[in-house]
Amino acid sequence: MKEKLLGVLGGMGPMATAYFLKIVTDMTEAETDQQHIPMLICNHTTIPDRTAYILGESNENPVPALCNDAKFLEKSGADILAMTCNTAHNFYEQVQANIEIPLLHIVKETVEFIAKRNNNCKRIGILATKGTLKSGVYQDFCEKNQLQAVVPDKAVSDMLMNIIYEKIKKGKKVSVGEFLGIIDDMREMGGCDAVILGCTELSVIKSDLKLNRYDIIDSLEILAKRSVEECGKKVKTDYFTE
């Protein structure tokens, strides 16, 4: 099989991009450098804010930069692309239309992972930016997979935005109590069977706090898993308990 080069549309944010590279490496079954997946990373940190544009708080459209980066990675030899930002998937169709290689869809892959993993998991809490929630992309894929998406109320959504923009993006720490408090509220008050970390900044928190709970589904981990598989490599058998 021809070795596949993975292109990474990153920089949204840079910590999430760095963590994605670590996950891909950690979960790949390999014994030598040469057995790992070759990756080409575009860490474009100056792409306009996706949520601000979706909410109408900014006129700076991120789509041209996303499309240009995707075309750059394709021309540079990438065989498949992964975009390490959930909110940017509001523009997935526009980016995919500008390239001929496949662009993995983090939302689609995450929701399908849940649907295949456990038939008893029906109500799914969506922890994401206000931009992602407004786009409805998680709600749409949950409906397609016979799952019920549960979105946070305004108070929880405000807390999430504060954690994402005022803490993680600024390099500040988030306490385990603060983070798990939001997740447990979604479980108890929202009646959720599981919650999706639908923002890759939240994936960074999960890693920092060393959380490993069956009911917390990390979208960045699922994207990494599918990247490994689509590049023709094996995921370590002990990485996921499906």
Catalytic positions are: 85, 199
**Under a CB-based contact definition with an 8 Å cutoff, are residues 17 and 45 in contact?**
no
Q: Quick one: CA torsion of 116, 120, 106, 3, rounded to 10 degrees?
A: -30
Question: Tokens 């922890």 identify what position?
Answer: 127
**Under a CB-based contact definition with an 8 Å cutoff, are residues 79 and 4 in contact?**
yes
Kind plus residue range of the DSSP H or E element containing 5? none
DSSP 81: E
CA 156 to chain centre: 20
Q: How many CB atoms lie within 10 A of CB 48?
A: 16
* 81-119: b (≥16 Cβ within 10 Å) or e: bbbbbbbbbbbbeebbebbebebbbbbbbbbbbbbeeee
Q: What is the C-alpha to C-alpha distance for residues 238 and 92, in angstroms, rounded to an integer?
A: 31
